[in-house]
Amino acid sequence: MGGESPAQHVELEGVNYRVEQITPATWTVARPAGPAQANAQQTALLVRVVEKASRCKVTDSSYVRDGAVMNAQVDCGSKLRN
């Protein structure tokens, strides 16, 4: 993918996710194996994963590759507080 930084591994709720920064404002994370259709709960979880990895607020997200991967746009102007 030629991303901005090396892939990170983020653990959340006992699941390890691979998160990559594609551009300064775009991150990508693969959905864990499960139902083919992404649901609101999975989306919220993946948003938290991206926010944890990027330390930025997710402002928009969409699924690609038939729902297997979520791309997220982040705003780093208002950093998250950990």
CA-nearest of 21, 65, 34 to 49 is 21
Q: The domain spanning residue 63 has which CATH number?
A: 3.30.1360
* DSSP strands (E only) in 1-82: 8-12, 15-23, 26-30, 57-64, 69-75
Average pLDDT of the residues in 48-52: 96
Q: How confident is the model at residue 81 (pLDDT cuts 50, 70, 90)?
A: very low
**56 belongs to a structural domain:** yes
Structure confidence at residue 37 (pLDDT): 62
Say how many domains are in the chain: 1
* CA triple 56-60-61, angle to 5 deg: 105
Give per-residue pLDDT as tens, 7-38: 899 999 888 999 999 999 999 998 777 665 66
Structure confidence at residue 35 (pLDDT): 61
**2 belongs to a structural domain:** no
